[in-house]
Structure 1
Amino acid sequence: MSSPWIAALTALFAWWFSTGAILLVVRRSDRTGREAHAMSLVLAVPLLALGAAALIVTRESQSVAATYAGFAGALAIWGWIELSFLSGVVTGPDRRPAAPGLSGSDRFAAAWGTVAHHEVLLLGGLAGVVLLTTGAADDTALWTYAILFVARIAAKLNLFLGVPRINLEFVPSTLSHLKSHMRQGPVTLAFPVAVTLLTFATGCFAERLISAPDPASTVKFALLTAISALALLEHWFMVLPLPDARLWRWMLPAPRSRQD
């Protein structure tokens, strides 16, 4: 398990599987009703608890197993917060579609109102991970959450400002109003800034991987290189005509609108 290739493949599988699992839960709940979304979030609370527990248990350890546990713990915390958003339970105070003709600061304020509570929860999650990992022997969990946090904020800004490709296939009915706040069109300055930042991060982690002094460090930087590269790839999905939806479409039930 100390091979960098195994670690990178683990990160790839975790990214694919966790995304698919969340989409599956959301799609099944969407076919049942809003109450099912809330129940799915409640039933997933043990996942959040296990993620926090993984960070606590491995605080004093600097081993390959602890590195994997920290990575998995951060993903579990992140996954629960993502589920809270996609389920429509934690979004924002405004659930209305964008008013026609909005621009500039008015458009930004309207869009912010649709996701404000979730952004606060994301910050709370980051604060919680920082608290649980301060002084820890291994900081894989902190870096994992930080990469996902920065990448998600950058992605949301790009969807708001404009990108050529927007995949709306997996947007649940509880978030249908968000579609009106996204802009499909040429990229703005936000895209090259985000891509440059993620490319730089991937390169830095890869450089640390090459010079890693021990197995735990090798696994740590292999995981971080892979997850930052995947975050970079998700940004390129907004520009390049790649069939990324096929990665998960086959495992999801049809939307309710196709059945009823």
Structure 2
Amino acid sequence: MHDFGLPILATLALWWGSTGIIFYLDSLPAKTFPYTMGAATLLVAAALWGLVATSDHLSVGSAYGAFSYGLICWGWQIMSFYMGYITGPQRDPCPPELRGLARFIAGARTGLYHELFALIGAVILLALTHNQPNQLGFWTYATLWWMHTSAKLNVFFGVPNLGEEMIPDHLRYLASYMTRRPMNMFFPFSVTISTVITVWLIWAANDATTPFEATGYTMLGTLMALAVAEHWFLVAPLNANALWGPISRREDFSGLIEGELVALENFAEREESWTARLPNICDARHVAQVLELVAAGAFGEVEEVKGAMRTRAHWIAFEISGSRARMTPFTPRRPQEPRIIAVGRHLDRDRLLAAIENCAA
């Protein structure tokens, strides 16, 4: 009888810990990024050496090692993207008029270089372990790549929980390519594919004939199970990003939600404030684009913006503080009126009102 408990716990710990560390490092000042990426690159070089060294070993220890090396290699890819080093040629918010294929192409261009580097990384890992019995590092990397790509496609096509609060300031334009809606046609296929692969890996682990196979299949199966859970977190009324709350330094955007817009009444009394009622049902993607433009100064010198809107899925609270726009879903405990309040100087109120009215779903 094989031991499945330790591989499962190890996978959970490595996945949670590595993700939290990346969130933490990415939330540090930008001046630390070159040192972080330099250290990560050295770590990847050591991981690649480790993959080669363990590629012909079929022990339980080599399974843990190969899994960790694949995780490190993928972590480098994610850090290079979220720190802004390897992203894509498109670095501007999505133009509101883009629809269909044109919008998809623009969205793909935001991460084009990242995807190319991810492919190059996969080829390198596969080449280093070619014709060797231990290819767990490559399959770990490939599984994480699938998890990330599938999640990105789902937030592009539309899900309730976008997790845009975790996007760093220098990549805020990515939020304009996300879509908030109850469901999309790609979601059932992506979650079904991940579930089928998970079941097959669990079956393979249970049917394994060696401790190495049992450990490897269990770790990959656990990773795919996490992929399934991440997919459901995109549509469930839960904040999965709270899992990394103790590690991440990102500011918690909850004050407006907990106050249920009560603070807006005092906020509106400030000098040079402007308020307007929002359409009864808004398109969250259009509102996100307007907020990005407001934050960039397209409608005047805006100091702060607060508000709440309704979509077909749920209520969303939003705010702009400094140059950062943030949105998050919430459930009001009393009747609310969708509205926006802005404070600033030389506000172009007519253009801002027209942009808001165009956000109707």
- TM (norm. structure 2) is 0.68
Match for residue 73 of structure 1 among 63, 69, 89: 69
Residue type matched to 1:165 in 2? N
Q: How many angstroms apart in 1 are the aligned matches of 2:240 and 2:247?
A: 13
Which residue, out of 137, 149, 165, partners 2:145?
A: 149
Query: Residue type matched to 2:26 in 1?
Result: V
- Which letter does structure 2 place at the counterpart of 1:183? T
What pairs with 1:1-260 in structure 2 (closer than 5 Å)?
A: 3-28=3-28, 32-33=29-30, 35-255=31-251
Matched residues in 2 for 1:3 and 1:95: separation?
48
Report the structure number with the largest CA radius of gyration: 2
CA distance in 1, matches of 2:109, 2:96: 16
What is the count of residue pairs matched by the alignment? 253
Amino acid at match of 2:204: R
Q: Deviations over 1:62-112 (max 9, x none)?
A: 111111111001000000111000101110011100011210111012111
One-letter identity of the residue aligned with 1:236: W
Contact conserved, 2:7 with 2:218, CA < 8 A, in 1? yes
Structure 2: segments with no counterpart, 5+ residues: 253-320, 323-361
Query: What is the identity, as a one-letter code, of the residue corresponding to 1:162?
Result: G
Structure having the larger proportion of residues in strand: 2
Report how far residue 254 of structure 1 moved: 4.3
Q: Hey, what's the Cα distance between the residues in 2 that align with 1:251 and 1:17? A: 9
Once the 2 structures are TM-superposed, how far is the Cα of residue 6 of structure 1 from its aligned partner? 0.3
Distance 1:255 1:237 in 2: 21
- Residues 21, 247 of structure 2: 8 Å contact kept: no
> Which amino acid in the other structure matches residue 187 of structure 1?
M
The range that moved more, 80-89 or 152-161, is 152-161
Counterpart CA distance in 2 for 1:156 and 1:222 is 25
Q: Does the 8 A contact of 2:158 with 2:178 survive in 1?
A: yes
Q: Deviation of residue 43 (structure 1)?
A: 2.3
Q: Distance in 1 between matches of 2:7 and 2:172?
A: 37
Q: Please list the CA deviations of residues 183-214 of structure 1 after superposition, one character each: whole Å capped at 9, or x if unmatched.
A: 01032221011101100010000001111111
CA displacement, residues 41-75 of structure 1 (integer Å, 9 cap, x when unaligned): 12211121122112111011111111111100100
Letter in 1 for 2:77: I
RCO higher in structure (CA 8 A, sep ≥6):
1
The CA distance in 2 between the partners of 1:46 and 1:75, in whole Å, is 14
Give the structure-1-normalised TM-score. 0.93
- With over 3 angstroms needed to count, the CA separation of the structure-2 counterparts of 1:6 and 1:181, relative to structure 1, is same
Q: How many Å apart are 1:250 and its aligned residue?
A: 2.1
Other structure's SS at 2:164 match: coil
Say what the alpha-carbon RMSD is for the aligned residues.
1.6
Kindly indicate whether the alpha-carbon contact (under 8 Å) linking 2:23 and 2:247 is maintained by their aligned counterparts in 1. no
More helix by share: 1
> Are the equivalent residues in 2 in contact too, given 1:38–1:89 (CA < 8 A)?
no
SS at match of 1:136: coil
Between the aligned partners of 2:225 and 2:102, the Cα distance in structure 1 is: 34
Residues 200-253 of structure 1 deviation map (CA, whole Å, 9 limit, x = unaligned): 010000001111111111111110110010111111110111231221112222
In 2, the alpha carbon distance for the partners of 1:149 and 1:251 equals 23
